[in-house]
Structure 1
Amino acid sequence: MKVLQPALDVERPHACHLFPGGRICLGAEQSGGAPTLESAYARSVVWANGYSVYQREGAFPF
């Protein structure tokens, strides 16, 4: 999964679970991917909620 819009202005990508280029880190594996499309979708929804908290408070909630 990759964030296409809006463009993210992130000073510390690791702090908000992003790889360079806007790709979301969804798992503990080196690739950061998810095993299924369903899992990727669910985890990206959770990430979006966490990113909203990160923007407001400066820290990811998990």
Structure 2
Amino acid sequence: MTLYPAGPRLALREVESEDTEDLLAIYGDPEATRHLSFEPRTREQVQAITARSIASASVTPRTE
């Protein structure tokens, strides 16, 4: 797991396949997405987002 610089309350890391359920809790929630630029996502859409994020993290040079 790659970790990035962190502060006392925040640590950044790469997305992992195990994050799908946690991302679904946000991306799939109508209240959480109410003011975002997209409608709530389905489980399948979030799985695709997770897979795409994992794949893009391994591209050299990294573009995302």
Shorter-chain TM-score tier = 0.3 to 0.5
Q: TM-score, normalised by structure 2?
A: 0.38
TM-score by length of 1: 0.39
User: Which structure has the highest helix share of the two?
Assistant: 1
Question: Who wins on radius of gyration, i.e. which is larger?
Answer: 2
